[in-house]
Structure 1
Amino acid sequence: MRTRIQVICGQPLPITGCPTTGAGLRAWSLGEGLKHHGFEVVYSVPKDVLEKVPNPSEDLEISAFDYHRLGDAVEKINPDVILTQGWLWANMLPDNLQVPLGVDLTGPYLLESLFSQVEDQTRMPFLKVQALQKADFVTCAGLYQKHYFLPWLLLAGHDLSHEVCHAIPMSLSPNMPMRMPPDEPVFLYSGIFLPWQDTSAVLRRLIIALDTYGRGRLLIIAGEHPTYTFPTGNMPGLVEELQQHPRVEFTDVIPFDDLVERTRSSTVCIDLMAHNTERELAFTTRTVVALWSGLPILYNNYSELSTYIRDYQAGWALNPDDTAKIDDTLNFIFEQPDQVRSYGKNAQRLVHECLNWERTIEPLVSFCRSPYKREQTGSHLDRMITPLDDRLWRSAIQLKNSSAYHALKGIKRRISG
């Protein structure tokens, strides 16, 4: 009998014909990588996310869960291993969980919440430490992130004299799309509007280049979060302005398969964003999708993926504030199409050699083949705070996971929406 893995994700997956997100793609990529190695994988998403999915599969309907009853979904699926996308879900699992638990720390959620302000910043660190206490095995999306998460794991009581966090970069299938080069340069900008992401500088320089050369197009595939009401930052205003340009085409977020089709028929992916700490730590999903589709990337020079792109000549790793270098690079793209195509071939070679889920997922495969429960010794915070403080914090966490809390939160969303 095959080992059954339950993958828990709070966002739509790219298997349902609806727009997905970076978190959904990450969970799916780990699940599909595990399938490739012979595991049975069951995906579980919240019921309110499933409601927005057109024609969900019977398997997804069976495994969907209420936020305050995630333990019921686990009991129904009866997995050998649980893998959560993000740490939030660990706090919704039963305290006496007997199933080995893997937690994938996809990105710096605390830093994201500093920009979005959708969570209580005072409580979040305590929630995070409590969640990490439950983890038996931990992964993250790269070495930069690993160094960020290690102190949190130390606070949660993990023994850092052993390997406690395994870097698995965002990866995709070894079977890559075939390129369909357009007749003129097509610059693709895609993604969800989020307050910590700002591509305005390079997009404005690109508009000038399109006017200068009198050819080429900017294709924008972007929009608000497909399932949650979420702050959008300044990009929607800029996109509305750019749509007035005759060489700009805009479409809202689209299903993953459609996105891949539009990506593989573009020329270059624009993913050069203003610097902030969240962007420095992010191992950006949309970038890997573009590389996998054979597009060279106009990217930053400050994150982990920048080194991959530079070493493989799979694009250009630039300072987002250096407008002269940005202009030179845009000129190169217009004037050296053969070289740009070679960069696209390098992009797929990079994915095949470094971001291929056959290879990168090995640490998680090893855990799932021989799963275990970690001996929990309590967190450093447990030893520092009084029993009364501890009871108060844990009561607050239980309240947040209760059905009453989520009912009130649902009413608030409907009113604000």
Structure 2
Amino acid sequence: MDRIAHSTAVDIGGGRRGFRSEDTVAGQEGTVVTATHLNATQEEMMAIIEKAGLAPDAGDLAQLLRAIRSQRLNFVTAAGVGGTANAVTLAFAPTFVDLADLVGVPLVSIAEADNTGAMTVRVDALAVTARTWPDGTALLPGDVKAGALIVERYDGTAFRMQQCLSPTQVAALSPRTNLLINGDFQLNQRAFAGGALANNVYGYDRWKASGASNMAAAGFGLALTSGEVHQLVEPAAWGFGNLASTMMTVSVEAPSHDLAVTLGSASGVITAGAGRRSVTLTTGAGDNGNLSLKIARSGGGACSFNRVKLEVGAGASPWMARTLQQELLLASRYFTAWRIATVNGRFGLGMLIDNGDFMVNLPLLVPLRTGAPAVTYASLNRSVSFDSPITGVSSSAAYGNVFSVRFTSATTSGGPFICGLQAATAAAHLSLDAEL
């Protein structure tokens, strides 16, 4: 496009050709507006509007503004992206004719493949130029993912990426629900001291040994000296009918060694390294019950890892801890323990009758998974005017948020009595196991 080029054009300053109005009184001829100039002006503006994907509309006087504001003019469609994973070509229409014209211009494209090393970009027929991070750092394998939306600017030396997010990476910015309970091993209602566990024996809340194992909590993770750690996931507790044929991701932080992961009938490996590491697996069609997750060092031996997460979907989303209170409520559906480390500390009150039966109702934080949990206890006394040891459990049941238990103890006379359930030693506890 150029300024008016008719002989009647006038200099409007700085050698610029422009228009003047006709003045019949002064005998001044006006500048002739030529069809060539009007058509050029029209087509220049229409090129912007149409390039932005807008349909010309005589009744819309804001199309040029919207076209410029849309930033579509610097977007390369899929047809314009070519080359290889590491040597990308971008074709624009109209083409750029000089790299200098690109300085500071944001270019937008969609990556076609994962990169495998340092990258270059060639815009139209211009020189091949490095693509880097904003600080000039060269790209490493996997920095660019297929489908990533890339925004980059040429600074006279390189195309520096301002944004590079794939759909998976965008999704990963929002933490998804962790289907594991006590993924950071902070809950320990069983008072497990760490060490050896036999097959299927629980240590830290919701985690048990698969085969003979040896483990200990360390910080917000687990040091697994040998064997395999195992958690069963109850889909219904998370609102799923089942998790069969479902793409899921298992992730941990800073695994010391490669980890063998078994999820239902699927298996894979999380590679060792810093940061959050993951493997995405698809469960089998037959994995339609409680879902088993097992983690061990690949090839056997000792390993450590932190903050385990299981989520539905591809790619690991960030770890986001629930509060300790929330985690305890989730875990208490499967296991609840009352512990009093003070001799004569009271668990609750109940009714003692002559034959020694002692009936107590205790409150539950949440309803148990089953109404018939396995009951274990140690160092419990019944206490009226004197203490007498609890000798057994004759019956028990959980009803909503109440656990009702009938203990046995020595016979008495003159009852019934209001009686206390108390700690005989500092090791006193009463535990309810409703694990899967």
Structure with higher strand content:
2
The structure that is helix-richer by fraction is 1
The answer to whether TM tops 0.5 is: no
Length-normalised TM-score, structure 1: 0.17
Greater relative contact order structure (CA < 8 Å, 6+ sep): 1
Larger radius of gyration: 2
